[in-house]
Chains A and B, each alone.
Chain A
Amino acid sequence: MFPTPIQKSARWAQIGYKLLLPMALVLWLLPLIGVAVTSVRPAGDLAAGNYFGIPSSFAGVENYTAVFQNSPIGWYILNSFKVTIPTVIGAVALSCLTGFALAVYNFRANLLLFFMFIAGNFIPFQILMVPVRDMTLKAGMYDTTFGLVLFHVAFQTGFCTLFMRNFIKGLPFALIEAARVEGVSEWKIFTRIVLPLMRPAIAALSVLVFTFIWNDYFWATVLVQGQHAMPVTAGLYALNGQWVAAWHLVSAGSIIAALPPVLMFFLMQRHFIAGLTLGATKG
């Protein structure tokens, strides 16, 4: 193990390390802590100049209720779910198929397609913006959650294919060969043999894509204009403009918007990290 386990160090170093940990954490999360504290601060504190001290009273309930009552944030959150969940399902489903094709079959264009998916995943969004916006407008899907879903599914397929293909490559190929010898059809090999083994990959991808899409801001502003379809990222920005210097409300809104992916992360931590660090251990 590197660095040397702290248990092998002197007693004072061990105590020092255990003291340093929480201090480093507080420093690291200072902006977040600041926002969390501000979100429960009464409006009066801000007016009186009490920005960083202990809040004079706990106004969390008032602030969060005010955010939900005076703004469409609940609606925005609903929109975010309407964009995120279908995207997760669509992108994972498509990439199970493409990943299987690229992992199992040897054909001439295989590597070319694989690297095309990877490259596509790295390009700047701006090179797609004008045509995708135009296409969405013409198809009558501008300003709808469905228009966003279609784009996200297509774009995420790049990353998801990379992920699924590498995962399936790691499965024992002998299973597939044995099934072929017994005359099992390719489709059945996919659904009966490979798909059940892909559960961990599907779980990891689902949490990752959920977080990516929930946090998307660019496409939410490009493909949506009105409140009725606006996801919470773009909505929060719009609200920020209305709540000038009402930091207690901005903070509460920020916490609300950040909560779903944070919960997702904590519930599915193992899968999330397994997905994110794919390839970080072997070449």
Chain B
Amino acid sequence: MIPAPAPSLALWKKHKGTLTPWLFLLPGLLMFAIYVLIPIVQSIWISFHEWDGLGDKAWIGLGNYIELLDDDTFYTSLKNNFLWLVLYLLAIPGGLAVALFLNQNVMGIRLYKSLFFFPFVISQVVVGLMFTWFYAPDFGLFSALIEKLTGQQIAILADERFVTYGIIVAGLWPQTAYCMILYLTGLNNINPEQVEAARMDGAKGLKLLWHVILPQLAPASFIALVVTVIGSLRSFDLVSIMTAGGPYGSSQILSYFMYEQALSEYGYRMGYGAAIAVVLFLIMMVFITLFIVRMLSQERNS
């Protein structure tokens, strides 16, 4: 190493203790600030402007937000986001059920577990295309099934009544697999003595599950809840691939609505898009804050 000049060396020696962690943090923190922290502030700032992404920004105060309140698509998106959030939660009991089903020691079970996990590894673009095909009238397996059962064809993705549910089911597929793997790991680490003791006392089946097993699975359930809530509100790919928000905007969600407005083929509305993003951000911040408060208290206790 090149010897540093004396004064700065003295300075380094004096502050070495406090400076060292910051030197380790510097590259990561810098990247994170440039690409994540600062853009959040910028987006909020841009949301108060009318901006086409090229020229000058024109300050319009709350104009974008007022316009949002008058936008039917905004309400459709909010409603659909709510549907996503609620129905996505089904992935948690679904994942638990699959995990319980697979938590056995029979030949080939490892392979079964991996194959059940498969949907999560595949890109959502591919999942979206698969389900588009699955639902496609005339072509699709699902649509053929429906026709057998009800005698009529239903084009799920072209029907305003069913489209959002159809997309959510596609999203539940990988999400259930994700929750399943969390629970499988949790089940693997259950305290066998407690289970045996409860069995001695005559507990079994659902009662045993509810009173003994589920409390021990609490950490897995918490993570499953976090990733499912965040995943439902962040979903974008499936709507983009399967319907692009259609038919007639009936499957819109905030994330896609924002993208469409900001980079629309009818002209870029960056300010309006940013305002939608801010609304989504605020909704998610409520959940993120709740999760972080809980994690923080765990951190303090350990």
Which residues on A are within 8 Å of B, measured CB to CB?
Answer: 1-7, 17-18, 21, 24-25, 28-32, 34-35, 38, 46, 51-52, 94-95, 97-98, 100-102, 104-105, 107, 110-111, 113, 115-120, 122-135, 150-151, 153-155, 157-158, 161, 186, 190, 211, 214-215, 217-218, 221-222, 233-234, 236-237, 240, 245, 247, 250-251, 254, 257-258, 261-262, 265-266, 269, 273, 276-277, 279-283
Contacts and interface: CB of A to CB of B under 8 A. Distances in A.
B56 to A, nearest CB: 13
Contact of B40 (A101, A113, A127, A133): A127
Interface in B175-211: 178, 181-183, 185-190, 192, 195, 204, 208-209
B295 A118 contact: yes
B124 A215 contact: yes
B219 A215 contact: no
Interface string B1-34: 0000000000000000010111011011101101
B32 A5 contact: no
B86 interface: no
A265 B103 CA distance: 20
4 A-B pairs closest in CB distance: A154-B35, A101-B24, A215-B123, A131-B39
B282 to A, nearest CB: 9
Given A2-B187, A265-B121, A250 B281 contact: no
Contacts of B218: 283
14 contacts: A51-B139, A107-B21, A111-B296, A122-B230, A126-B273, A127-B281, A128-B36, A129-B259, A133-B53, A215-B123, A218-B236, A254-B130, A258-B126, A273-B181
B195 A2 contact: yes
A158 B121 contact: no
A97 B187 CA distance: 33
B277 A130 contact: yes
Contacts of B123: 214-215, 217, 233, 257-258, 261
B29 A2 contact: no
Interface of B: 18, 20-22, 24-25, 27-29, 31-32, 34-40, 42-43, 46, 53, 98, 100-101, 103-106, 109, 112, 114-119, 121-127, 129-131, 133-134, 136, 138-141, 144, 173, 178, 181-183, 185-190, 192, 195, 204, 208-209, 212-213, 218-220, 223, 226, 230, 233-234, 236-237, 240-241, 254-255, 258-259, 262-263, 270, 273-274, 276-278, 280-281, 284-285, 287-288, 291-292, 295-296, 298-299, 301-302
Which secondary structure characterizes the binding site on chain B? helix
Contacts of B25: 97-98, 101-102, 113
B121 A257 contact: no
A131 B42 contact: yes
A105 B22 CA distance: 10
Given A115-B295, A129-B262, A131-B46, A236 B105 contact: no
Contacts, number: 291
A131 B141 CA distance: 43
B213 A119 contact: no
B122 A7 contact: no
B39 A128 contact: yes
A148 B297 CA distance: 36
Contacts of A118: 292, 295
A35 B128 CA distance: 12
A215 B22 CA distance: 33
Contact of B258 (A18, A107, A129, A131): A129
Which secondary structure characterizes the binding site on chain A? helix
A218 B240 CA distance: 9
A123 B104 contact: no
A3 B103 contact: yes
A115 B296 contact: yes
Given A120-B36, A123-B281, A38 B126 contact: no
B195 A254 contact: no
A135 B230 CA distance: 26
B223 A155 contact: no
Given A122-B288, A126-B259, A265-B121, A117 B32 contact: yes
A134 B271 CA distance: 13
A100 B106 contact: no
A278 to B, nearest CB: 9
A35 B115 contact: no
A2 B189 CA distance: 11
Nearest to B209: A2
Nearest to B29: A98
